[in-house]
Amino acid sequence: MQKHGDLKSIQVPTWNYKIPYNYGITRDEARETAKELFNKYLPNIEGDYELVKLTRNMETDEASYIWYAEFYRKYGEEINPYEKVLIGWVPTINGIYQLKIERGKFENNEIVKTKEEAIEIAKNKDKEIEPNREIESVTAEEAIQEMNSEAYLRETRKEDYENGKISLNDGYYATEDRVRRVWLVTIKYVEEENKLDSFTYFVDTTTGEIIGGAIYNPLNYIEDLRNDPNNFA
């Protein structure tokens, strides 16, 4: 428990519950149950949350005796993956197996830099790193992301970074534990053998600073979950 009294995490061993013989439920039933449990146990939680991820502990719905649901907080249409609620439960009896709340330090910063400005910032930085790469396309999308060291590591230790010889835990560059609104500027290159296909820069919407990056667009993860027929759809 945190000092100010907010629930951080609680987990109840499954042996505290008697698993019913007919515990199998369908995905539709699991979806509805997840929402009911969310409203029951977190009626006063601040903000609007969306059910994004729904998984089970076995290969089929019928064989699963624990289900897990992840709810992410929304700011307008934007998902904040660093503010989420995880609920795990035993089906049919709806016994809570796990209840976990994560709250990233989202600063809800203003949008000062335009999409066009963010694209120019990213392109200028990328030209310093990849002066000889031909760009196929550039896109930019608004999102909420945590600061990381990937753009810095790619710039300063490019060969090691792209060959997977360096990790974010190597300690060469520390970032603050902050979550900001950013423009995700994805630069897709003309394909070259043994080279990255693309890189996404996190451009702060307020300051214009590059506060991180990724070799994939983080928004694709959320969309993949939303569109995966084996997940919540």
pLDDT in tens, the chain (233 residues): 344 556 556 666 666 778 888 889 999 999 999 999 999 999 999 999 999 999 999 988 999 999 999 999 999 988 998 999 999 999 999 999 999 998 877 999 999 999 999 999 999 999 999 999 999 999 999 999 999 999 998 999 888 888 877 755 555 556 778 899 999 999 999 999 989 999 999 999 999 999 999 998 888 877 776 666 556 43
User: Measured between alpha carbons, how far is 140 from 118 in angstroms, rounded to an integer?
Assistant: 8
Q: Backbone dihedral region of 85: left (phi > 0), alpha (psi from -120 to 50 degrees) or beta? A: beta
In-domain check, residue 137: yes
Domain boundary residue, one of 50, 80, 104: 104
Asked if residue 149 and residue 178 are part of one domain, the reply reads yes
In-domain check, residue 230: no
Domain boundary residue, one of 81, 104, 127: 104
Asked if residue 119 and residue 205 are part of one domain, the reply reads yes
Domain boundary residue, one of 104, 125, 143: 104
In-domain check, residue 140: yes
Residue 67's nearest CA partner among 22, 102, 98, 110 is 98
Place of tokens 């630069």: 187
Asked if residue 92 and residue 123 are part of one domain, the reply reads no
Largest CA distance in the chain: 64
Asked if residue 131 and residue 76 are part of one domain, the reply reads no
Asked if residue 174 and residue 100 are part of one domain, the reply reads no
- With a threshold of 0.95, does the pTM exceed it? no
Q: How confident is the model at residue 83, as a pLDDT?
A: 92
CATH number at residue 91: 3.10.450
In-domain check, residue 184: yes
Q: How confident is the model at residue 209, as a pLDDT?
A: 97
In-domain check, residue 76: yes
Total of domains in the chain: 2
Q: How confident is the model at residue 218, as a pLDDT?
A: 87
Q: How confident is the model at residue 89, as a pLDDT?
A: 95
For the chain, how many residues are written?
233
Asked if residue 92 and residue 33 are part of one domain, the reply reads yes
Asked if residue 66 and residue 126 are part of one domain, the reply reads no
Asked if residue 35 and residue 75 are part of one domain, the reply reads yes
In-domain check, residue 233: no
Asked if residue 96 and residue 13 are part of one domain, the reply reads yes
User: Contact 122/188 with Cβ under 8 angstroms?
Assistant: no
Asked if residue 76 and residue 168 are part of one domain, the reply reads no
In-domain check, residue 98: yes
Q: Which domain holds residue 33?
A: 9-104
In-domain check, residue 187: yes
Asked if residue 91 and residue 20 are part of one domain, the reply reads yes
Asked if residue 216 and residue 122 are part of one domain, the reply reads yes
Q: How confident is the model at residue 109, as a pLDDT?
A: 96
